[in-house]
Amino acid sequence: MNDLPFGFSSRDDDDDDRDDNAQNPDPAGGFDPNMLGQLFNQLGTMFSGMGSGMGQGAQSGPVNYDIAANLARQQVGSFTPMLDKEASAVADSVRLAELWLDEQTTLPAGITTTAAWTPVDWLENTLPTWRTLCDPIAEQMARGMTDNLPEEARAMAGPMIGMLGQLSGSMYGSQLGQGLGTLAKDVLTSTDVGLPLAPDNTAVLLPEAIARFSEGLDLPAQEIIVFLAAREAAHVRLFAHVPWLKQRLLATVEEYARGISIDFSGMQDFAQGVDPQELLTNPEKMEELMGSAAAFEPKTTPEQQAALTRLETLLALIEGWVETVVSASLGDRIPSTPALTETMRRRRATGGPAEQTFATLIGLDLRPRKLREAADLWRKLTEAADITGRDGVWGHPDLLPDADDLDSPAGFIDSIIGGGSSTFDDPMAELERTIAQEKKEKEERGDDA
């Protein structure tokens, strides 16, 4: 089975499959319902006994999370339980980082709890957020599989439609579990993918992953821990005191999901090329069938592309702000800050394990592609205004720079220096001032008359 998002496959693989399956074409070039009917019958026989081997518990929703959780725990394998000394080290590092961050941002400390997590701790505590992210896309994919199915195929499938829904939920759960299991061993903090995955106001470091991360760096371990603690604390401040931010991220993912549609132009070619009898005697052909989503190519709409651009920009702005604040807070105190900053830039911007797995899980290639531009914008804005003006931009979503501003920040910075953020400090007060001004102008026109 391929490891692309929820059964997505590349066009190259799709072309290869179509070439292989084109040896027995339908002379009429039309849709053959008898062939598809046999195919569904074979699938029904094969899938009827799958439930016992794929996990316990009934599936509710588009993804089987029982399968996901079980496979993720298997993927994690053995791990080292956290000791009190790890928890104390995390708490001390976060406390020190918070003191230094206070000098470089107007956003107050947002942490009330610190924790040292094992990979299983991360898995159990972040699964609710992954459910929120994955459900909209899985639902839309499942709906597209049935709504866009040719009428002949839908009629022939009959009760198999429900079984296919259960199968797709199991397949999604399997892929989700494998991805989360890999991610659980790689993430360094709870915000390593740019999203707040831990409970609110909680700062988390994963010592086992940090130890592996540190092995490839010729830097003092304590400096690495404090640096990562500062990044985590800065993320928590931002999400804790910008209440609309988390919801905006999740809503943009949902907006992307709503636009998913499936192109079933490959269904005809696929049905023509499958001999149902061969499914019973050739395991490779059955495996090819299980990867048949290659024929159902998802189409990217302009609305989806716009949502993806907004999401990438928002992730870059979050990451760039954190980088700017952490660099300013630690730069004169921790000598390795520049080297660690560049390491994290490359890890995030070029698609490290976190980004690659995130793309696999929800079907989005979410790298903060303009991370350097975003960090540069926040740095220049700090120099042109001050930290109050910079942090005030987070006061309202309409104030944030867009992708064009990241490429050409001068105009955006001028708008902020000129007071662009003041109108959103108190929207009701601004509305009252506007009404009063309009009333005054009306009265003056009446007097002139």
**DSSP per-residue string spanning 240-256:** HH-TTHHHHHHHHHHHH
User: What is this structure's pTM?
Assistant: 0.74
Q: Which stretches in the chain have pLDDT values below 70?
A: 1-60, 144-165, 260-299, 349-366, 419-449
Residue 80's pLDDT is what? 84
Sign of CA dihedral 273, 276, 277, 283: positive
Extract the tokens encoding 151.
Answer: 């009428």
The single residue listed with the structure tokens 């000598």 is: 335
> Is residue 115 within 8 Å of 207, Cβ to Cβ?
no
The single residue listed with the structure tokens 């560049």 is: 342
Residue 61's pLDDT is what? 77
Write down the domain spans for the chain: 5-357, 370-449
Which residues make Cβ contacts (< 8 Å) with residue 30, sequence separation at least 6?
Answer: 268
Extract the tokens encoding 387.
Answer: 């930290």
> Is residue 405 within 8 Å of 412, Cβ to Cβ?
yes
CA distance 432 to 73: 57
Residue 193's pLDDT is what? 83
CA distance 216 to 441: 68
CB-neighbour burial class of residue 419 (10 A; exposed 0-12, middle 13-18, buried 19+): exposed
| Alpha carbon separation from 440 to 110, 352, 432, 433, 443 (Å, rounded) | 44, 59, 12, 10, 5
Extract the tokens encoding 189.
Answer: 């903090």
> To 5 degrees, how large is the angle CA 241–CA 394–CA 333?
75
CB-neighbour burial class of residue 159 (10 A; exposed 0-12, middle 13-18, buried 19+): exposed
Residue 445's pLDDT is what? 60
> To 5 degrees, how large is the angle CA 154–CA 255–CA 203?
125
Q: Please spell the DSSP secondary structure of 323-352, one letter per residue.
A: HHHHHHHHTTT-TTHHHHHHHHHHHHHTT-
Residue 78's pLDDT is what? 87
| Alpha carbon separation from 141 to 53, 174, 300, 309 (Å, rounded) | 24, 16, 13, 21
The single residue listed with the structure tokens 């929703």 is: 61
Distance of CA 115 to the CA centre of its chain: 23
CA distance 192 to 179: 15
Extract the tokens encoding 436.
Answer: 């009063």
Residue 45's pLDDT is what? 44
Residue 338's pLDDT is what? 96
Q: Please spell the DSSP secondary structure of 26-54, one letter per residue.
A: -TT-S--HHHHHHHHHHHHHHHTT-GGGS
CA distance 205 to 88: 11
CA distance 301 to 292: 22
Q: Which residues pair with 263 in a beta bridge?
A: 297
Residue 7's pLDDT is what? 27
* Max intra-chain CA distance, the chain: 94
Phi, psi of 203 (to 5 degrees): -105, 130
> Is residue 300 within 8 Å of 262, Cβ to Cβ?
no
CA distance 74 to 174: 11
Residue 442's pLDDT is what? 64
